[in-house]
Chains A and B, each alone.
Chain A
Amino acid sequence: MDKKKAREWYIFIKQGILETVLILPALLVCIPILLLVTGGFMARDELREGLAPVFTGMGDYIQWNWMPNYPTFENYKSLLFETPQFFVLFWNSVKMTGCILIGQLLMGVPAAWSFAVYRFRSGKAVFTMYVALMLLPFQVMMLSNYLVLDRLHLMNTQWAVILPAVFSTFPVFICYGGFRQIPAAMLESARIDGAGELHIFWKIGLPLGKGGILSAMVLGFLEYWNLMEQPLAFLESKELWPLSLYLPEITWQQAGYAFAASVITLIPSVFVFLMGQEYLEQGIIYAGLKE
C-alpha cells in the first residue's frame, strides 16, 4: 500500500516538474504582450522619458513602469479619433486580407477538389508543380511577379499584392488535405444516383472538406494580416500600405501611438487564433502531409 502511494507521489511530482518546465516559455509570450498593453496606457511623457535611453543611446537603461503612473486612454483616443491615416491603413489591411482570402476560396478550393477527387496522370504532374511552387519563398518569386504586374500596369495598386496571393498554391495544398479524407466510395455512389459533379462538390465536398478550407483560411489570415514583403516591393504610395508597414514608420517620440496601434493590430490576430486554434493545428498537419 505504501509503495503504491509513494509511486503515485512520484508520478505527481514528476508531472508537476515537467509541466512547470514546459510552461516557462509562455513567459516569452506573456511579457511582450504585457509590454505592449502597458505601453498603450502610458502617458506620453512617461513613455518618452522611459524610452529615451533606448532610442538615443544616452543615459541609463530603459525605464518601464509595469503599472503606468497615470494610466490613460489618451493614446487610443488620439489614434482612433485624431489620426485618419490610421483608419485608411487599417482599412487597407482589411481590404487586402479579405480580397486575398475570398480569391483563394474561389480559385484554390475548386482546384484542390479537382486534385483530390479526380486522379489522373497529367493532373499528378500539375499537382507536383503546385507543391514545388508552394515551397519557393517570396524572394524567388518577386522578380517574376514584378514582370507580370508591370506588364499589366498593376504596379503601385493594391491588386499587385492581391492577385499573386490569390493564386498562391499553398491553400490548394491545405484544402487538398481536407478533401482527401472523403471516401471515394461515397462520391461514386452519389454519381450512380445521378448527381452531377457540381452538385457533388457542393453537397458533399464542401461540407465534408470544411476542415481543410477553414484551416487554409486561418493560416492565410495570420499570414496576410502580417503582409510585408509584397507591399514593400510593389506599393510605392504609403496611403496604399497595410497596417503592418505603418507601425515601423512611427518615430519613438510618438511611442504612445506605436503601442496603441500595436495592440489594435494584435487584436484581430488574437481573435482568429483563439477561435481557430483547432483549424490552425489541423492546417499545420495538412501542410506536413507528404503527397
Chain B
Amino acid sequence: MRRKVMKARLYFLAPSFLGVFLFVLLPFGDVVRRSFMTAITKEGAGIQNYRTIFTNSAFLLAVKNTLRFTVFCIPLMVALGLVIALAMGSIRHMQTVKSFYLFPLAMPTATVAVVWKMVFYEKGFLNQWLEQWGLLAWLGNGAAVDYIGSGAAFYVLAGTYIWKNLGYTVVLWLAGIMGVNGEMMEAAQVDGAGKLQRFWYVMLPNLKGSLYTIVVISFLNSFKIYREAYLVAGSYPHDSIYMLQHLFNNWFVNLDLDKMAAAVVVCALFFLVFIMLLQWLWDKEAG
C-alpha cells in the first residue's frame, strides 16, 4: 500500500512540475548562462554584462526609484493597514466597510487609467478642486501642476498603490488579529494591563508572523503598479517613476538581452536574499 501512495503523489505532482521545469527552471538556467555572454555573437563575456549594468545610468535610476518606492510605500501601507484593521474590528458594519477597501483590487487597470488622467492631468479635477477651495495658491505658487509629468507622479503612483492594495493588507491584519489568543488578552486585562499596554505587550508581539507575510506580499504586489504607471504615463514616464519594470520592458523591446539577463540574475538574487533574510529574522524571533 505504501508504494501505491508514493506513486500517487508523483502522478499528482508530475504535470505541474514538468510545466514549471519547462517554462521556468530550464529557461532561467539559460538566462544565467546568457548573462555571461554577449548578445549577438554569443561569445563568453565573463562578468562584462554585470559591469555594464552597474555603470548604466538607466539601471541605476530604476533601482533607485524602485527602492525609494518600496521604502516609502510599504511601511506606510503596513501601518495604515494595521490602524484600519484595529478600528474596523470594533464597528458594526465591518463586512460592508471592508468591501469598499477591497474593491479597488477588482477594478481593471485600464479603467483606473481613464479616471486618473481626468483627475491628475494639469487641467483635471484635482487642480480644479484645489483652486475652488483656494488651496492652489497656498500649495504651490498658484500654478497648476501636471501631476503625471512632474515629480508629483511619484506620489500619485504611491497613492494608487496604497489605494489598490490597502484592502489586501487590512484583510491580512484582520486575520492576524483574530488569530491572537483571546485568553491571553483577557489574562492581561485581569492582571491590570491597560488598553494600550495590552496592545503593545500582548497583541503586537503576536502579530509578528502577520507582519512578515504582509511585507513580503506587499513587496510582491508593489511590482504590479507598473500597469497603472504604464497606462497613465507610457514607456518613458517622468524620471521620478522610471522603475525597474519600465527598464526591463524597454530592454526587452530593444532586444538588449545580454544586459537584461544580467539584471534579471541580480534582481532574482536580491529578492531571494531579501525574503530569506526576512524569514530568518522572523524565525529567530520565534525560536
Residue in A148, A172, A281 with the greatest tally of chain B CB atoms within 10 Å: A281
B15 touching A147, Cβ below 8 Å: no
A265 touching B111, Cβ below 8 Å: yes
Q: Which residues of A contact B175 (CB under 8 A)?
A: 285, 288
B110 touching A133, Cβ below 8 Å: no
- Nearest chain A CB to B267's CB is how many angstroms away? 5
- Cβ-neighbour of B272 out of A123, A132, A229 (below 8 A): A132
* B284 close to chain A: CB less than 8 A: no
B223 touching A137, Cβ below 8 Å: yes
Q: How far is the CA of A169 from the CA of B23 in the complex (A)?
A: 12
- Nearest chain A CB to B191's CB is how many angstroms away? 24
Q: Could you mark each residue 161-172 of chain A with 1 if its beta carbon is under 8 Å from any beta carbon of chain B, else 0?
A: 001101101001
A140 touching B118, Cβ below 8 Å: no
Q: Which residues of A contact B260 (CB under 8 A)?
A: 143
Could you tell me which residues of chain B, from 83 to 135, have a CB within 8 Å of some CB in chain A? 84, 87-88, 90-93, 97-115, 117-118, 121-125, 127-128, 131
- Cβ-neighbour of B172 out of A130, A196, A284 (below 8 A): A284
B124 touching A290, Cβ below 8 Å: no
- Nearest chain B CB to A230's CB is how many angstroms away? 11
Label chain B's interface by main secondary structure: helix
Contacts A55-B121, A167-B24, A226-B227; A277 near B102 (Cβ below 8 A): yes
* A6 close to chain B: CB less than 8 A: no
* B168 close to chain A: CB less than 8 A: yes
Contacts A62-B124, A110-B15; A284 near B168 (Cβ below 8 A): yes
* B57 close to chain A: CB less than 8 A: no
A111 touching B27, Cβ below 8 Å: no
- Nearest chain A CB to B223's CB is how many angstroms away? 4
Q: How far is the CA of A57 from the CA of B249 in the complex (A)?
A: 29
**Which of the segments A28-36, A70-78, A206-214 contacts the partner chain?**
A28-36
B13 touching A126, Cβ below 8 Å: yes
Q: How far is the CA of A20 from the CA of B127 in the complex (A)?
A: 26
Q: Which residues of A contact B114 (CB under 8 A)?
A: 36, 247, 258-259, 262
* B195 close to chain A: CB less than 8 A: no
**Which of the segments B47-55, B71-79, B198-206, B212-220 contacts the partner chain?**
B212-220
* B63 close to chain A: CB less than 8 A: no
* A287 close to chain B: CB less than 8 A: yes
Q: Which residues of A contact B17 (CB under 8 A)?
A: 111, 126
Q: Could you mark each residue 36-49 of chain B with 1 if its beta carbon is under 8 Å from any beta carbon of chain A, else 0?
A: 00000000000000
A-B contact pairs, 15 of them (CB 8 A): A22-B87, A110-B12, A118-B12, A123-B13, A135-B275, A137-B220, A138-B223, A197-B4, A198-B8, A228-B110, A229-B226, A233-B249, A262-B111, A280-B102, A284-B171
**B residues apposed to A, CB below 8 Å:** 1, 4-6, 8-13, 15-17, 19-20, 22-24, 26-28, 30-31, 84, 87-88, 90-93, 97-115, 117-118, 121-125, 127-128, 131, 163, 166, 168, 171-172, 175, 209-210, 212-214, 216-217, 220, 223-224, 226-227, 230-231, 244-245, 248-249, 252, 257, 260-261, 264, 267-268, 271-272, 275
